[in-house]
Amino acid sequence: MMSMMAVTWTNYLRKRLPLTIRSLHTSKGNELDQILMSPPLASLDLPDIWSSNSASRIIPAIHKSFDDQTTEVLDGKLISMEIRSRIAAKVREMKQCLGKVPGLAVILVGQRRDSQTYVRNKIMACEEVGIKSLVTELPTDCAEMDVQNVIMRFNKDPSIHGILVQLPLPQHLDEEKVLDALCLEKDVDGFHPVNMGNLAINGREPLFTPCTPMGCIELLIRSGVDIMGKKAVVIGRSNIVGLPTSLLLQRHHATVTVIHPFTENPEQITSKADIIVSAAGVPNLVRGNWIKPGATVIDVGTTPVEDSGCDDGYRLVGDVCHEEAIKVASAITPVPGGVGPMTVAMLLCNTLVSAKRILNFN
């Protein structure tokens, strides 16, 4: 005879309480704890004990209650300034103690206008916080070996703690080979498969988490949006944003669905989500009816569209139809000024963390 009776969902008890969870968030050390509010991933890990209690009963409700017309615009620019000022302080401290500063090398292949803008912003941000930066520009038609040689040089350079290859690369270059050549300890973009694997695997900690996903999470945390137990939908599954964002949200105990171009009726899925992170690169993809009233919307899209009224002749446009979304969401990021500055701040953070690790400085 079977001694264990047929068991249902309601017969299982999760033994953890939110208090325990919360103390875990704060009690463990973090290389970044003076800078970021995001905890180390491994500190978030909890045993998956299937529960009788509907999770809603023991997970605190989403902070923001939606009483219409109070949509908060999540100011990534402001939040990133606060983070950058903490980074600057730490860099100064490092300089005083060791006479050294973190160093970031950026490799830019080709003449893509958007890539040039991104690189320029990163360099300026480094300068501002006292991180040394070096840019190597290569022509669009350079050989793979040329890129590899530059990477090898930076891999060996002890004054460089982070190396970044600005993506996308021209078609003829093998992105996989180029990224694999990066020394793991300097992979501040976090795109190396070992870092991605360790981001995915429960119980492990990547050396670096990709900057945009980390920026999204930091923005959510600093804005008081709970992630645990919430339904999150990530729109887009790129290796640099969608995929790692979905993995990171899952490490934070969201229930994650990834939407991509093969998804049928995506709006039926997104309109159930508490948190939407859109990284499709399609202007106005996310309309008002895609959004649940009171949801939090993070717009990662930055598509350059021509605009003769702008200085550069173009402007960056998000995935979300802002005018419609702002009537429905409880919180939303602007484009520009939302995720973009957070991404840059996370890159500075990763470079600092790398320098601290390599130089054994705390």
* Sites for its own copies among residues 11-70 (CB under 8 A): 12, 14, 48-51, 54-56, 59
Could you tell me which residues are beta bridge partners of residue 317?
303
Residues numbered 320-339 forming contacts with its own copies, rule: CB under 8 A: 321
Nearest to 168 by CA among 216, 127, 112: 112
Shortest separation between residue 224's beta carbon and its own copies, angstroms: 19
Shortest separation between residue 37's beta carbon and its own copies, angstroms: 20
Name the residue nearer to its own copies (CB basis): 89 or 184: 184
Annotation marks residue 122 as catalytic? yes
Residues numbered 203-222 forming contacts with its own copies, rule: CB under 8 A: 203-204
**Of the candidates 71, 80, 136, 195, which one interacts with its own copies according to CB under 8 A?**
195
Annotation marks residue 111 as catalytic? no
Name the residue nearer to its own copies (CB basis): 288 or 337: 288
Name the residue nearer to its own copies (CB basis): 88 or 194: 194
Name the residue nearer to its own copies (CB basis): 18 or 293: 18
Residue whose entry in the numeric block shows the structure tokens 């991933």: 41
Instruction: Return the range that interacts with its own copies (CB under 8 A); candidates 23-31, 101-109, 137-145, 192-200.
Output: 192-200
Name the residue nearer to its own copies (CB basis): 303 or 351: 303
Instruction: Return the range that interacts with its own copies (CB under 8 A); candidates 70-78, 145-153, 243-251, 325-333.
Output: 243-251
Residues numbered 65-104 forming contacts with its own copies, rule: CB under 8 A: none
d(CA 335, CA 175): 28
- Strands 231-235 and 255-259 come out as parallel
Mapped onto helix, strand or coil, the DSSP state of residue 189 is: coil
By the 8 A CB rule, do 356 and 92 touch? no
Residue whose entry in the numeric block shows the structure tokens 């003076």: 34
Token pair belonging to 152: 């090898």
Name the residue nearer to its own copies (CB basis): 90 or 253: 253
Mapped onto helix, strand or coil, the DSSP state of residue 296 is: strand
**Of the candidates 82, 127, 141, 306, which one interacts with its own copies according to CB under 8 A?**
306
d(CA 14, CA 12): 7
Instruction: Return the range that interacts with its own copies (CB under 8 A); candidates 71-79, 85-93, 114-122, 193-201.
Output: 193-201
Shortest separation between residue 264's beta carbon and its own copies, angstroms: 5
Q: Which H or E element spans position 127?
A: helix 113-129
- Indicate which residue of 90, 132, 166, 187 is catalytic: 166
Residues numbered 244-283 forming contacts with its own copies, rule: CB under 8 A: 247, 250, 253, 255-267, 269, 280, 282-283
Shortest separation between residue 272's beta carbon and its own copies, angstroms: 8
30-49: b or e for each residue (b if 16 or more CB lie within 10 Å)? bebeebbbbbbbeebeeeee
Asked if 194 touches its own copies (CB under 8 A), the answer is yes
- Indicate which residue of 64, 90, 187, 189 is catalytic: 189
- Indicate which residue of 64, 90, 122, 186 is catalytic: 122
269-304: b or e for each residue (b if 16 or more CB lie within 10 Å)? bbbebbbbbbbbbbbebbebebbbebbbbbbbbbbb
Question: What's the full length of the chain, in residues?
Answer: 362
| CB hemisphere CA count around 194 (13 angstroms) | 12
Q: Which residues are designated catalytic?
A: 122, 166, 189
